[in-house]
Amino acid sequence: MVDGYLGSYATLGLVIGAGVLVFVGAFGANRLLRPANPAEPPGKYIAYESGIDPVGGDWAQVQIRYYVYAYLYVLFAVEAVFLFPWAVVFDRPGFGTATVTEMAIFVAVLALGILYAWRKKILTWT
């Protein structure tokens, strides 16, 4: 290990250098191992999705509700991530009313967010 003032910078430089070498090596191996004249059968560049031939244009709009559901999923996944460590700490002696109050506030803020989304009819599927 490199010690001293510049030691951490030297370690960082070595890691970056190793990353660059892996990157260059991967692309070099790809260049050496690829076929010289790749075959180009008809229809090779047509988009292929789930075994269905493409029909129509390539532009499709996605409705915002899909993003809302993804956001709500992430929100509750993060809530679950915070609830598990809290449950482990709550089991220890000396963590009583304060930890219950903190978690109640945390869950109440999330519940207010869900109540707001429900009242604005964001959660209705049309």
Residues 108-126 have pLDDT tens digits of 988 888 888 888 887 777 6
Q: Catalogue the E-assigned strands of 1-122.
A: none
Is 90 exceeded by the pLDDT of residue 15?
yes
Residue pair 26/34 in contact by the 8 Å Cβ criterion: no
Confidence of residue 11 (pLDDT cuts 50, 70, 90): confident
What number of CA atoms fall less than 13 Å from residue 49's CA on the CB side?
A: 4
Residue with tokens 């482990």: 88
Residue pair 76/93 in contact by the 8 Å Cβ criterion: no
Which residues on adjacent β-strands are paired with residue 52? 49
pLDDT-wise least confident of 80-84, 87-91, 98-102, 117-121: 87-91
Whole-prediction pTM value? 0.40
For 45-73, the pLDDT digits (tens) are 666 666 666 666 667 777 777 787 788 78
pLDDT for the residue 96: 72
Neighbours of 9 (CB within 10 A): 11
How many Å apart are CA 115 and CA 119, to the nearest integer? 6
Neighbours of 86 (CB within 10 A): 15
